[in-house]
Amino acid sequence: MESPSDEPALRPAIWSRGVDFLIQRWFLIGLACVLALGVTQSARLEPLLAAGWFRNLVVFCVLFCMALPLEASAMWLAMRRPSAPLLGIAVNFVLLPLFAWVISWGLDSVMAAGLIVAASAPCTLASAVVWTRKAEGNDSVAILITMLTNSACFLVTPFWVKSLTGEAANIDALELMQKLGLLVVLPITVAQLLRIYRPLAAAATRNKTPLSVAAQCGLLTMVLIGAINIGVRLKSDASDFGLQQVLMMVVAVQVVHVTMLFVGYLLARLAGMPRDAQIAVAVAGSQKTLMVGLMVGVQTGITILPMVVYHVSQLLIDTFVVDWWRKRGQQLQQASQRETPAADRAP
The pLDDT value recorded for residue 252 is 97
The pLDDT value recorded for residue 343 is 46
CATH top-level class of 48-324: mainly alpha
d(CA 345, CA 347): 6
The helix-helix angle for 305-339 and 275-286 (nearest 10°) equals 170
Residue 59 has pLDDT above 50, yes or no: yes
d(CA 277, CA 269): 9
Tens of pLDDT, residues 275-310? 999 999 999 999 999 889 988 988 888 888 899 899
The pLDDT value recorded for residue 42 is 86
d(CA 34, CA 51): 18
The model's confidence at residue 239, banded by pLDDT at 50, 70 and 90, is low
Tens of pLDDT, residues 153-204? 999 999 999 999 875 566 777 888 888 898 888 998 999 899 999 999 999 9
Residue 207 has pLDDT above 80, yes or no: yes
pTM for this entry: 0.81
d(CA 279, CA 273): 10
The model's confidence at residue 52, banded by pLDDT at 50, 70 and 90, is confident
Q: What angle do CA 279, 281, 283 make, to 5 degrees?
A: 65
Residue 13 has pLDDT above 80, yes or no: no
The model's confidence at residue 6, banded by pLDDT at 50, 70 and 90, is low
Stretch 232-242: mean pLDDT: 67
d(CA 189, CA 191): 5
Q: What angle do CA 205, 211, 214 make, to 5 degrees?
A: 175
Residue 142 has pLDDT above 70, yes or no: yes
The pLDDT value recorded for residue 145 is 93
The model's confidence at residue 333, banded by pLDDT at 50, 70 and 90, is confident
Mean confidence (pLDDT) of the chain:
85
The pLDDT value recorded for residue 176 is 84
Poorest-pLDDT segment among 203-212, 309-318, 327-336: 327-336
The pLDDT value recorded for residue 11 is 61
Tens of pLDDT, residues 23-49? 777 888 888 888 889 888 888 888 888
Residue 90: partners with Cβ closer than 8 Å, 6 or more residues away: 285
Poorest-pLDDT segment among 7-16, 131-140, 141-150, 168-177: 7-16
Tens of pLDDT, residues 77-124? 767 788 999 999 999 999 999 999 999 999 998 899 999 999 999 998
| CA distance readout (Å), 44 to 2, 190, 241, 306 | 51, 36, 21, 24
Domain boundaries, the chain: 48-324
The pLDDT value recorded for residue 61 is 92
Residues of the chain above pLDDT 70, percent: 86
For residue 302, give the DSSP letter. -
